[in-house]
Amino acid sequence: MSPESWASSDAVRRSMLGNRRRDTAPEVALRSALHRLGLRFRVDARPVATIPRRADIVLRGDRVAVFLDGCFWHGCPTHFRAPSTNSGYWEAKITGNRARDSATGALLEAAGWIVVRIWEHEPVDRAARRVAATLVAVRSTPGRRPASRNP
């Protein structure tokens, strides 16, 4: 292991490097459930081209961005347990992730988007119904303009 590595061991470093940015099991399950409901969407995409943030699921025409947050990486208030080794690093990392999540939501909402955040522990069918209900609400909002084709 290199001396400048943040990992507490080679095994931890290998495990962390193996984490995926997209196509995790919870994401695939949610996408399948949304697809069964007849919804079509973009995956791992920027909702707004000028905002350097990616959403897990983007329903561009309705301006809805869905984020599926992992309990560990996003500091779930119910399930997150801070590691006992290298605790300073992890506290800063998770705090930074949560701050970025909040800033992302604010940026997208300021650009006219609806942000849906789902915890990975939420039952998939319930999460899919929440996204679908959001779309029903968005589509029935008087005066809401659809997103332009060239965001």
To which residue do tokens 């909702």 refer?
A: 47
Q: What is the pLDDT of residues 29-44, one digit of tens each?
A: 999 999 999 999 999 9
H-helix segments, the chain:
10-17, 25-36, 87-110, 124-139
Check pLDDT > 80 for residue 3.
Answer: no
Class of domain 22-139: alpha beta
The pTM of the full predicted model, rounded to 2 decimals, is: 0.82
**Domain extents in the chain:** 22-139
The set of residues, in sequence order, having a beta carbon less than 8 Å from that of 6 and lying 6+ positions away, is: 86, 89
pLDDT of residue 151: 43
Q: What is the pLDDT of residues 43-91, one digit of tens each?
A: 999 999 999 999 999 999 999 999 999 998 899 999 988 888 888 988 9
The set of residues, in sequence order, having a beta carbon less than 8 Å from that of 59 and lying 6+ positions away, is: 39, 41, 42, 65, 66, 135
Check pLDDT > 90 for residue 120.
Answer: yes
Check pLDDT > 80 for residue 18.
Answer: no
